[in-house]
Amino acid sequence: MHGLINRAIQAFVVSTYGEDRWANIMESADLGFSEFEAMLFYTDAQSTKMLRALERSQERALSEILEDTGTFLVSNPQVEALRRLLRFGGVNYVEFLHSLDDLPDRARLAVADLHLPALELVEISPGQFDLICQPGLPGFAFVLMGVLRAMADDYGDLVILDYRGTQDGTDQSAEVISITLVETDFAEGRTFDLGAHSL
Amino acid sequence: MMNDADLLKIMDLLCPMHAVVDAAGRLVSVGPTLKKLRPDLEWAGKRFFRIFDMTRPRRVRSMDDLVKTAGTKLHLQFRDSPQTGLKGMLIPLPDGQGALINLSFGISVLEAVRDYDLTSADFSPTDLTIEMLYLVEAKSAAMEASRQLNLRLQGAKIAAEEQAFTDTLTGLKNRRAMDHILERLIGSGTDFALMHVDLDFFKEVNDTLGHAAGDAVLQSVARVMVECTRQSDTVARVGGDEFVIIFERVNETRVLAGLAKRLIRLLEEPVPYGGKMCKVSASAGTTLSTWNSGTVDAAAMLHQADLALYAAKRAGRSQHLFYEEGMQKDEPETAENGVH
């Protein structure tokens, strides 16, 4: 699994629970190192060990922890870069949702060896969408749930998200997240200034 | 039939940075994004060249010149500050009615977006500017992550080098290794002799034949020292041309004196380098752990060997002396070394 993904989880744990908690998790994972490097590559087995240790330490379902990680990635000022990159997807939430189809390609433009599962947005009716997340990165759909929720806040819209499981009930098939847009301009969103990024 | 107003509306959407000039070179209308760059400016009726300065092609001065550039790439900039650079292309309007000039930011787009607070609504949806801004940010973020990794690796490399025990030039032990060995010998109560060797005339080799020659000499010196000593002895390079040899379980001054003599003789054999012969010699001073009553102190022994070495240098170089009580670096020597 790409270092960026491992590193994102590390950033979430350190920022939310502190360095000590992370050190304990990595000790329990027994990988022989204590930090992930964003620009290196790790085996799936290494990432799985870390995730299992994380789950043990938190005593919560991994799906919930991953969803919180997704929220953290968008809403925490420490990782502002990712939120900005996502905001480039559209001027409103619906446009942003449609831009998710391009997300894996956009990710690859930024980091050539970062492969994210293919995403497909299906508009069921106005304001009602299914986001189909192809397999390949276990847990990615939960991180997406957190990202989708936080991005709705970012745009100031109110949405209801529902994780519908896999399409045919097996682990190998695509997962579905249903998205209901309840109200646009529900709250004051965060501003997005195209030129705010200092070079 | 479409009239001019309809056309301009289309132009506003497709090319929001266009300008229409009349046959006299005066602005008729400008697109909404161009207008946003100078919101307080009354555009209509102003002369195009009053607002924009043509940087390439240079010789374009009049409206006639301008129309002749039709279809080619223009480089221009605002005359007033911020002097944002723009790219453009002119298309003459029919019947000599003037021209349509479409503008874009080109490479200055990053500053422009910041300077004028532009949003994605200011660019046509088919314009790739937003994608380009995305790419610039994504690349910066990725580069930053890479830079951080490089910094950490650099730090780790320095730490690893500091922890290494080998002198990379000669392959001998370094000062750090020597400290560890002294500590181990003293801790275990093992007798040992400590010899401090300093090359004579090494600076001359470096100065006249260059550092590469100096390096070759040091490597040759290291080989000689290793050949003259036993496997159980330690040879360390502790400074530019300074070496320390630790002889484990050696207390006999006769053996040490003989060895030192042989060592100095071998070190005096010229080292060929680049067709020249590099000549150095060496002075040495030795002390024994058994000469120290009570607890043996590594620093004190190094100091004793150092004093003996200085005595040997003062006695005319190329010789070896044992430490004797009362030895000290005399005044002129200390002054010369800048030690007070």
Task: Kindly state whether residues A176 and A92 are assigned to the same domain.
Answer: yes
Nearest CA in chain B to A111: B142
Cα–Cα distance for residue pair B88/B140, rounded to 1 Å: 28
Is A144 part of a structural domain of the chain? yes
- The partner residue sitting opposite A194, judged by closest CB among B118, B141, B144, is B118
Is A69 part of a structural domain of the chain? no
Nearest CA in chain B to A85: B134
Comparing CA positions, the residue from B241, B319, B314 lying closest to residue B328 is B314
Task: Kindly state whether residues A15 and A101 are assigned to the same domain.
Answer: no
Is A149 part of a structural domain of the chain? yes
- The partner residue sitting opposite B149, judged by closest CB among A39, A193, A199, is A39
Cα–Cα distance for residue pair B253/B290, rounded to 1 Å: 11
Structural domain count of chain A: 2
> Looking at the complex, does the CB of residue A106 fall below 8 Å from at least one CB of chain B?
yes
Task: Kindly state whether residues A51 and A88 are assigned to the same domain.
Answer: no
Is A39 part of a structural domain of the chain? yes
Torsion angle of alpha carbons A134, A137, A139, A141, nearest 10°? -30
Note down the domain range covering A51: 3-59
How far does the CA of residue A42 sit from the closest CA of chain B (Å)? 15
Taken in order B101, B105, B108, B112, is the CA torsion positive or negative?
positive
Task: Kindly state whether residues A113 and A147 are assigned to the same domain.
Answer: yes
Residues of chain A where predicted confidence (pLDDT) is lower than 50: 199
Task: Kindly state whether residues A33 and A98 are assigned to the same domain.
Answer: no
pLDDT in tens, A161-199: 999 988 887 778 899 999 999 988 777 888 777 776 654
- The partner residue sitting opposite A88, judged by closest CB among B110, B134, B145, is B134
Q: Choose from A92, A108, A194 for mutation: most chain B CBs within 10 A.
A: A194
| Structure token pair of residue B339 | 């030690």
Q: Chain A 109-148, CB below 8 Å of chain B: which residues?
A: 109-111
Q: A78 vs A14, A21, B114, B327, CA distance in Å?
A: 12, 19, 22, 64
How many C-beta neighbours within 10 Å does residue B220 have?
A: 20
Task: Kindly state whether residues A133 and A176 are assigned to the same domain.
Answer: yes
Contact B149 A197 (CB under 8 A): no
Per-residue pLDDT tens digits of chain B, which is 340 residues long: 667 888 889 999 999 999 999 999 999 999 999 999 999 999 999 999 999 999 989 888 889 999 999 999 999 999 999 999 999 999 999 988 999 999 999 888 888 988 898 888 899 989 888 888 888 888 888 888 888 888 888 888 888 877 788 888 999 999 999 999 999 999 999 999 999 999 999 999 999 999 999 999 999 999 999 999 999 999 999 999 999 999 999 999 999 999 999 999 999 999 999 888 999 999 999 999 999 988 889 999 999 999 999 999 999 989 999 999 888 876 444 444 433 3
Tell me if the bond preceding B270 is cis, omega within 30° of 0: no
How many C-beta neighbours within 10 Å does residue A106 have?
A: 20
Is A190 part of a structural domain of the chain? no
Nearest CA in chain A to B114: A195
**pLDDT reported for residue B153:** 87
Q: A111 vs A2, A100, B142, CA distance in Å?
A: 10, 17, 7
* 8-state DSSP, B26: B
**Which residues in chain A are contacts of B140 at CB distance < 8 A?**
81, 197, 199
Output the DSSP codes for A26-78: HHHHT-S-S---TTSB--HHHHHHHHHHHHHHHTS-HHHHHHHHHHHHHH-GG
Nearest CA in chain A to B110: A195
* 8-state DSSP, B38: S
Cα–Cα distance for residue pair B33/B17, rounded to 1 Å: 5
> Looking at the complex, does the CB of residue B117 fall below 8 Å from at least one CB of chain A?
yes
How far does the CA of residue B127 sit from the closest CA of chain A (Å)? 14
DSSP-H helix ranges across B23-106: 32-37, 48-51, 63-68
How many C-beta neighbours within 10 Å does residue A198 have?
A: 6
- The partner residue sitting opposite A199, judged by closest CB among B130, B140, B148, is B140
**pLDDT reported for residue B314:** 92
Task: Kindly state whether residues A94 and A41 are assigned to the same domain.
Answer: no
Structural domains in chain B, CATH included, are: 4-108 (3.30.450.260), 175-337 (3.30.70.270)
Task: Kindly state whether residues A93 and A134 are assigned to the same domain.
Answer: yes
Contact B138 A38 (CB under 8 A): no
> Looking at the complex, does the CB of residue A102 fall below 8 Å from at least one CB of chain B?
no
Cα–Cα distance for residue pair B126/B16, rounded to 1 Å: 12
Nearest CA in chain A to B115: A195
Task: Kindly state whether residues A26 and A113 are assigned to the same domain.
Answer: no
Tell me if the bond preceding B57 is cis, omega within 30° of 0: yes
Contact at 8 Å (CB) between A161 and A148? yes
**Which residues in chain A are contacts of B105 at CB distance < 8 A?**
none
Report residue A198: phi and psi, to 5°: -85, 135
Cα–Cα distance for residue pair B242/A64, rounded to 1 Å: 63
**Which residues in chain A are contacts of B131 at CB distance < 8 A?**
88
Contact A88 B137 (CB under 8 A): yes
Would the ipTM clear 0.85, i.e. be above it?
no
**Which residues in chain B are contacts of A191 at CB distance < 8 A?**
none
**Which residues in chain B are contacts of A82 at CB distance < 8 A?**
141
Beta partners for residue A48, in sequence order: none
Contact B117 A193 (CB under 8 A): yes
Is A99 part of a structural domain of the chain? yes
> Looking at the complex, does the CB of residue A60 fall below 8 Å from at least one CB of chain B?
no
SS3 state of residue B294 = coil
Angle subtended at Cα A12 by Cα A11 and Cα A13, rounded to the nearest 5 degrees: 95
Is A133 part of a structural domain of the chain? yes
Beta strand pairing call for B281-288 and B320-322: parallel
Q: Chain B 90-109, CB below 8 Å of chain A: which residues?
A: none
Task: Kindly state whether residues A106 and A166 are assigned to the same domain.
Answer: yes
Report the length, in residues, of chain B. 340
CATH code, domain carrying A135: 3.90.1520.10
| Structure token pair of residue B301 | 């022994």
How many C-beta neighbours within 10 Å does residue B296 have?
A: 20
Contact A110 B136 (CB under 8 A): no
Cα–Cα distance for residue pair B27/B86, rounded to 1 Å: 17
**pLDDT reported for residue B330:** 66
Cα–Cα distance for residue pair B29/B20, rounded to 1 Å: 5
How far does the CA of residue B115 sit from the closest CA of chain A (Å)? 8
How far does the CA of residue B137 sit from the closest CA of chain A (Å)? 7
Torsion angle of alpha carbons A178, A184, A185, A186, nearest 10°? -60
- The partner residue sitting opposite A109, judged by closest CB among B110, B117, B138, is B138
Q: Using the CB atoms, write b or e for B250-271: b if 16+ within 10 Å.
A: beeeeebeebbeebbebbeeeb
Comparing CA positions, the residue from B108, B103, B92, B80 lying closest to residue B32 is B103
Task: Kindly state whether residues A53 and A84 are assigned to the same domain.
Answer: no
Task: Kindly state whether residues A159 and A105 are assigned to the same domain.
Answer: yes
DSSP-H helix ranges across chain A: 3-17, 19-29, 44-58, 62-75, 80-87, 93-99, 103-110, 140-155
> Looking at the complex, does the CB of residue A108 fall below 8 Å from at least one CB of chain B?
no
Beta carbons within 8 Å of B315's beta carbon, 6+ residues apart: B321
Contact at 8 Å (CB) between A175 and A163? yes
Cα–Cα distance for residue pair A117/A166, rounded to 1 Å: 14
> Looking at the complex, does the CB of residue A197 fall below 8 Å from at least one CB of chain B?
yes
Q: Using the CB atoms, write b or e for A31-45: b if 16+ within 10 Å.
A: beeeebbbbeebeee
**pLDDT reported for residue B168:** 86
Contact at 8 Å (CB) between B30 and B52? no
Is A71 part of a structural domain of the chain? no
